[in-house]
Structure 1
């Protein structure tokens, strides 16, 4: 872990057609775990997956330790802002990954739901956030493998 994540070049057309899967990451404050997961999926998915994140009770800002931990790997979360969880965001997503929001996440039949048990980085320093970040990266890599065919 600890190696920078390659970020695809910016391009206006990442669309892979209508089959492009969409993922929503949800945690309570949308300030740490879900933001890191969305950052990894955006970078590692290379535009092949639509990425959303939200919180049931969004914070004012993204956790500075999460921003710093992701910056170590070349992923910039500094411009991100926590967003409120909406029913529309859940309905528009194929996969909903919850991270400690419990029953506050709306449930819709036919969606793929996963609950990732992860420590909350809130109030922790960067040394405590790095292992959480690294576990999120591993889970995001497995998620990508389950959603997309291998790249030749």
Structure 2
């Protein structure tokens, strides 16, 4: 018997420097290897937003070594669930995939006080997603 396949989730935002990085980090942290996690951007930034890195460090998750990645067709095709966060029409759509669009404020250009509630909203959604995936 083959072990059950591990579900795969892809988080997509435009720059892959804030929301999708936080979401991927939370899911990786909370899923403990039970979910394959990817993140990407349609127009990736050069670095992850330093305020986002700081906000995640406050909750004990280090994403300082992460780098924004370009969204590829392969990444979408390899994922069971694709979660977009303000990526608009630039996200490719494939049949048979589950798509969720999370409306979240963009942390770009925001201070730590503005990023914390975005971080916390993402964590809440990740916990809900994890409960669904493990059901």
In which range does the TM-score fall when normalised by the shorter chain?
Answer: over 0.9
**Displacement after TM superposition at 1:17 (Å):** 3.6
What residue number does 2:62 align with? 76
Q: Of 36, 40, 50, which aligns to 1:64?
A: 50
Looking at structure 1, the residues matched to 39 and 55 of structure 2 have their Cα atoms a distance apart, in angstroms, of: 18
- Superposed, 1:1-152 pairs within 5 Å as 17-149=3-135
Looking at structure 1, the residues matched to 68 and 31 of structure 2 have their Cα atoms a distance apart, in angstroms, of: 21
**Displacement after TM superposition at 1:75 (Å):** 0.3
**Displacement after TM superposition at 1:61 (Å):** 0.2
TM-score by length of 2: 0.97
Query: 1:51-87 deviations in whole A, cap 9, x for unaligned?
Result: 0000000000000010000000110000000000000
Higher relative helix content: 2
Query: 1:107-151 deviations in whole A, cap 9, x for unaligned?
Result: 0001000000000000001110000000000000000001013xx
Looking at structure 1, the residues matched to 58 and 11 of structure 2 have their Cα atoms a distance apart, in angstroms, of: 22
Secondary structure of 1:107's match? Answer: coil
In structure 1, stretches of 5+ residues that fail to align are 1-15
Secondary structure of 1:128's match? Answer: helix
Looking at structure 1, the residues matched to 96 and 123 of structure 2 have their Cα atoms a distance apart, in angstroms, of: 26
Looking at structure 1, the residues matched to 33 and 3 of structure 2 have their Cα atoms a distance apart, in angstroms, of: 11
Please provide the CA RMSD for this pair: 1.1
What residue number does 1:6 align with? none
- Give every structure 1 segment of 4 or more consecutive aligned residues whose post-TM-superposition deviation is greater than 2 Å: none
What residue number does 1:4 align with? none
Paired residue total: 134
Looking at structure 1, the residues matched to 28 and 34 of structure 2 have their Cα atoms a distance apart, in angstroms, of: 9
In structure 2, stretches of 5+ residues that fail to align are none
